Amino acid sequence: MKTRSLLLTGWLLFCLMFAFSQDAMSKKHDFIYKSINGHDIMATIYLPDSDKKVPVFIYYHGGGFIFGNRHQGLHSELIDKLLANKIAVVSADYRLAPETKLKEILKDVSDMVKWIKIKGEGRFNIDTGKIAVGGASAGGYLAFTTGFNPQHSPDAIVAISAPTGFSTAGIKAGDLSLLKNIKKDSIVSYGDYTTRMDLWRYLGKNGLALYELFGFDPVKEPYKLKPYTLIDNVKTGYPPTLIVHAKKDWLVKLEDVDAFYKFLQNKKIESELYLVENGHDSNLIDRHPEAIDKIITFLNKQFNKKKK
């Protein structure tokens, strides 16, 4: 009898564990939002428990446009707090340089927003009338660019540790013959943090990073940078924007970020600059978790404006 009772208890525990795992799995879904030449570009959506349709926050990871992926680029505490505030989270991959140039990468991040607007509500329990986009480091720059086209722009943008331009001052292009040492796959959209970071360092050390990102030498042809320069593409109607940055960011100068913030203010674009002491990307969140609360407050403010 005791053995039978133990077996029954074990079976019930197994059923509960299985039910729990199924429920947890149902709140996280991988999906394809775009295919290029047979290569699927993926995103992962995290859904909060809610009977109502929820706003959605699309996030692009950092990694110098060369490394990173949707699973490692988004801070877990940020996901948890967004879900606790009934905001769905989409963490999206995008094609990476040097295999893909920035012109095509910008199409990916814009297409992610379009996919959510067109197909999101049919696939998931989300309100496609309330979409925000964010990212950190290179992903923050990509988030900025989703506001270039008013027809497809999100309702709000959050940029963490984001570069606000591509300066060629003091940069000397490297020896292009070194590029023959780099093996390029046709398309990469999920970059591991070891080999891809090594590639990023190699290109940076040899003065080849910008050339490989753009597909041209921005030092010799700076006029070609215009499609990628924020101040040349931010127009009236640009989405409300929150910039989160560290005073002692070791990669992106505060004065550049402050200049862009002042530019937004002068253009009468709703914008906020939230400063912390130090950190970059996820490290900024680790050191200053209060930045998450600022992001949530900003998003809720923007989403509440659009109450039906």
Select from 62, 63, 25 the least CA-distant residue to 45.
25
Whether the CB-CB separation of 203 and 212 falls below 8 Å is answered with yes
Which residue matches tokens 């002068």?
Answer: 266
pLDDT, greater one: 92 or 204: 92
Q: What is the pLDDT of residues 260-275, one digit of tens each?
A: 999 999 999 999 999 9
Domain membership of residue 87 as a residue range: 29-305
- The total domain count for the chain is 1
Averaged pLDDT for residues 115-130: 94
Q: Which pLDDT belongs to residue 45?
A: 97
Q: What is the pLDDT of residues 18-33, one digit of tens each?
A: 343 333 434 899 999 9
In a domain, 76, yes or no: yes
In a domain, 1, yes or no: no
In a domain, 197, yes or no: yes
Q: Which pLDDT belongs to residue 171?
A: 59
Q: Which of 124-133, 170-179, 233-242 has the lowest mean pLDDT?
A: 170-179
The pTM of this model reads 0.88
Chain centroid offset of residue 240 CA? 17
C-alpha 105/C-alpha 92 separation (Å) is: 12
Give the helix ranges, DSSP H, for 170-249: 195-205, 209-214, 230-233
C-alpha 210/C-alpha 163 separation (Å) is: 13
Residue 61, SS3 per DSSP: coil
Q: For residue 226, is pLDDT > 80? A: yes
Whether the CB-CB separation of 209 and 84 falls below 8 Å is answered with no
In a domain, 127, yes or no: yes
Please name the amino acid found at residue 42.
M
Distances (CA, A) of 196 to 64, 67, 82, 97: 10, 5, 29, 10
In a domain, 232, yes or no: yes
Q: How many C-beta atoms surround the C-beta of residue 288 within 10 A?
A: 18
Q: What is the CATH number of the domain that holds 90?
A: 3.40.50.1820
Averaged pLDDT for residues 127-149: 96
Residue 36, SS3 per DSSP: strand
Left (φ > 0), alpha (ψ -120 to 50) or beta: where does 252 sit? beta
In a domain, 179, yes or no: yes
Q: For residue 5, is pLDDT > 60? A: no
In a domain, 3, yes or no: no
Please name the amino acid found at residue 175.
D
C-alpha 252/C-alpha 162 separation (Å) is: 7
In a domain, 208, yes or no: yes
Please name the amino acid found at residue 304.
N
